[in-house]
Amino acid sequence: MVFKREGGSVILIGFYCYVLILLGFVFGGEIVKGDGGIPTTLDGPFTPVTVPLDESFRGNAVDLPSDDPRVRRTVNGFQPEQISISLSTTHDSVWISWVTGDYQIGDNIKPLNPESVASVVEYGKVKSMKKQTQKTEGYSLIYNQLYPFKGLQNYTSGIIHHVQLTGLSPDTVYYYRCGDPSIKSMSGVFHFKTMPVSSPKNYPKIGIVGDLGLTYNTTSTVSHLIQNQPDLVLLVGDATYANLYLTNGTGSDCYSCSFSNTPIHETYQPRWDFWGRFMQRLTSKVPIMAIEGNHEIEEQVDNTTFAAYSARFAFPSKESGSKSTMYYSFNAGGIHFIMLGGYIAYDKSSDQYKWLQRDLANVNREVTPWLVGVWHPPWYNTYVSHYKEVECMRVAMEELLYNAGVDIIFNGHVHAYERTNRVYNYTLDPCGPVHITVGDGGNREKMAVKHADEPGNCPEPSTTPDSFMGGFCATNFTSGPASGNFCWDRQPEYSAYRESSFGHGILEVKNETHALWTWHRNQDIYNESGDQIFIVREPGRCPVVKAKPTLKLWRSAK
């Protein structure tokens, strides 16, 4: 650095060059700027952009058949399959899950006994399982999908195992195998890396996907995601689309169109097993955190819902003070994630709302500066598909999240991509969160294309409420350019970028104030971006309205 003394003052001639060099280092070689580089939210709000559908690319939204090698059962007896990892609330704990034994489907099913096979994980910091190996046992369960109607086939799962590993070191590679050593049914050796310690300086690389399904498009999405090497994956709802099938295995792109006279909305549960087998190449190495979508409802006898979702994934519900698999929270480095349920009561008297109040009150922004919300149905959506569908959820929860200073919100449900400007209550607001919809994972229902603001596309308000949750809150806009109307007559100013294409996203938080968001399209090479922006926090400008702290809910795994 060059110094020059004039009139008793020291002037740092090289100061600005030093700052630019420092920024280039901090942000991985990218100088953050609005002109000629990666834009930042500080450059916004942006003029709305719509990228029209590329008619030459509609993808291959056809489900993988049951005889595809990637979904067939390749193990014998009670050897583990469908292996996956998920996080607990803190870096020192993870869950290992798997399935043993095959499913049954038909008129005369006989559920397996979960106690007949042990749930054991052997693990350590060296690849050899003969050295420095620890052993932990967990629990197992089965679930059934039962229908009280003649001609519909019932289903019972294989034995699903969940084992929690605790006392783990941060940012460390662990090797593991799972199964039941007493009957010599252990998996091969896999590995995972724990999250870094929660602090303003530590952040994992996060892949975000929604509405995956199990199509040839899905395989492209997952392959692109794996090549981008995330440390953690968020699945923002709608995993398998098993409910696009009858129990005899007959499927359709549109259940209500093809099967309008069925006595109950059937599902073909083996699609869950197919999906678990296909996803193992990713989920056995990279933790996946899921939240429920509408395709996980899967109603059955006695009005039971979400049975497969709740049984197959491990959730840090208890660790985060939640009483339900439908909502929970966790830390990943310097990010606190709140995973909310769009298909369970969310009004201000509900258990979920009260839990959310407590959870937000306990967030320490000096430890986890970034606060990210995740749920399935988007509040800010300009497509005809699911337009204003969960307005009641937005009305109930938006103010609470805004006051807490939520930075980013990720959703799925709409099979397209959309990123908003910072917004609150449909109004541009520099302190509102950025809403990002990534329901474009590749499922067989195909892409959403029509926009509600285009001539003739505005839906009838009475048709918009979510049929499962019920309730109507979607009224006309009361102010702004769309005042008195149910839809805008052009792309709304809160919508910054939208495009109908399949893909996935990568979130890379760089420090306490800057996070790089990149959306990747399936038709591009894996490291090319379809949309990219630095999301910038301004804690000085947007102070958090801190609720009164409550009794701490989280328990360290140590």
Active site residues: 386
Cα–Cα distance list, 23 to 1, 407, 514, 516 (Å):
16, 22, 11, 14
Cα–Cα distance list, 166 to 136, 137, 170, 298 (Å):
9, 11, 11, 33
Q: How far apart are CA 130 and CA 109, in angstroms?
A: 40
For residue 67, what are its two tokens?
């005889």
SS3 content of the chain, % helix, strand, coil (to 5): 15, 25, 60
With b for 16 or more beta-carbon neighbours within 10 A and e for fewer, the 386-402 pattern comes to bbbbbbbbbbbbbebbb
At position 218, the amino acid (one-letter code) is T
Distance from the Cα of residue 230 to its chain's centroid: 13
The phi-psi region of residue 179 (left if phi > 0; otherwise alpha if psi is between -120 and 50; otherwise beta) is left
For residue 256, what are its two tokens?
């209500």
CA-wise closest residue to 232 among 369, 411, 88: 88
CA-wise closest residue to 305 among 267, 273, 271: 267
With b for 16 or more beta-carbon neighbours within 10 A and e for fewer, the 9-38 pattern comes to eeeeeeeeeeeeeebeeebeeeebeeeeeb
CA-wise closest residue to 474 among 485, 461, 457: 461
Torsion angles phi and psi, residue 43, rounded to 5: -80, -15
Q: Are 531 and 417 in contact (CB under 8 A)?
A: yes
Q: Are 59 and 440 in contact (CB under 8 A)?
A: no
Residues 394-401: contacts with CB within 8 Å, 24+ apart?
394/473, 395/473, 396/346, 396/347, 396/348, 396/353, 397/340, 397/346, 397/353, 397/356, 398/424, 398/425, 400/353, 400/356, 400/357, 400/360, 401/360, 401/373, 401/433
Please classify residue 257 by burial: count the beta carbons closer than 10 Å to its beta carbon, then call 0-12 exposed, 13-18 middle and 19+ buried.
exposed
Q: Are 459 and 452 in contact (CB under 8 A)?
A: yes
Q: How far apart are CA 66 and CA 49, in angstroms?
A: 40
DSSP-derived 3-state class of residue 83: strand
At position 528, the amino acid (one-letter code) is E
